[in-house]
A and B are shown apart, each in its own frame.
Chain A
Amino acid sequence: MIIDARELNELTRRATQLMSETADVPRVLRNRLGAEHHLAQAAEAMQGSIEDFVRELRCFDISAQPIVADIFEES
């Protein structure tokens, strides 16, 4: 299965929304608990992971996907 441009746009939109919705979590925890607290650091790691995912999604090249023959076309 592959992703077409419309699906990719939708996935990117949802991922960006996820990133913006969670953006305040590290800030709140850092302000309340300090940057060294494990919760604040876990929140930073979470946000970093989401940002990596969104960055990769934005860079995803649709044309680089392998062409897969549709099995229904062969029947």
Chain B
Amino acid sequence: MYIPEADFEQLIRTLSEARSRATELAASIGARLGTEHRLAKLAYAASLKVENMLREVRFSATQNPDTGGGLAELQDALQTETQPVTPTPINSSVGMPTGVQTMSSFAAQAGLESEHWVSLFVEDLTSQLRASGGITFEVAERLLQQRKDDFLRDFLVARRMYRTYPHLFPESHGQMGRAEGHTISQ
């Protein structure tokens, strides 16, 4: 018995969205009724169960023979290749609009592709700042997790397309064949 890669994709997507929703619900109820309220405890318990489920499914996906080790490689890459980025210092005496501008210019200054996950993550953060006038650690974590999930999903789709339709990638076929076994660059 095994789970096809497509099912893993769907499960991870569903659970990732569910985790965001459950975390927000728990935070909302906890803020209104207090964290000791029975309803808040149930909400946190549900949120924790979703979180653990997502972690277990992700782990199983990396062990699944159908994924051919690619997911494990990707998870390793996510763990080891994510370099800390030193942001440009923000002058605390300056108001938020300048802070938002600083974050926007940060992505450009880093010399990243516009579709690189860091660029998209910074865009998410600035959009959230503009929309709500502030940001919490929980929201930032959720946005980062969504980017990680999107990256994983894109990788799985790209790899499936490449394997299924190699003739569509003639220029990269030789390069990717040589690159097999190397760590995936993010």
- Interface pair B15/A53, CB less than 8 Å apart: no
Residue numbers in B under 8 Å from A11 (CB-CB): 25, 28-29
- Interface pair B28/A21, CB less than 8 Å apart: no
Closest residue of chain A to B53 (Cβ to Cβ) is A46
Residue numbers in B under 8 Å from A24 (CB-CB): 14
- Interface pair B18/A39, CB less than 8 Å apart: no
Q: Is B149 an interface residue (CB 8 A)?
A: no
Interface of A with B (CB < 8 Å)? Answer: 1-3, 7, 11, 14-15, 17-18, 21-22, 24-25, 28-29, 32-34, 37-39, 42-43, 45-46, 49-50, 52-53, 56-57, 60
A39-B56, A46-B49, A50-B22 provided; 15 other pairs, C-beta below 8 A?
Answer: A1-B31, A3-B29, A17-B21, A18-B18, A21-B21, A22-B14, A22-B15, A29-B3, A37-B1, A46-B46, A46-B52, A49-B45, A50-B46, A52-B46, A56-B38
8 CB-based A-B contacts, threshold 8 Å? A3-B32, A22-B15, A28-B3, A32-B3, A32-B7, A38-B56, A46-B50, A53-B42
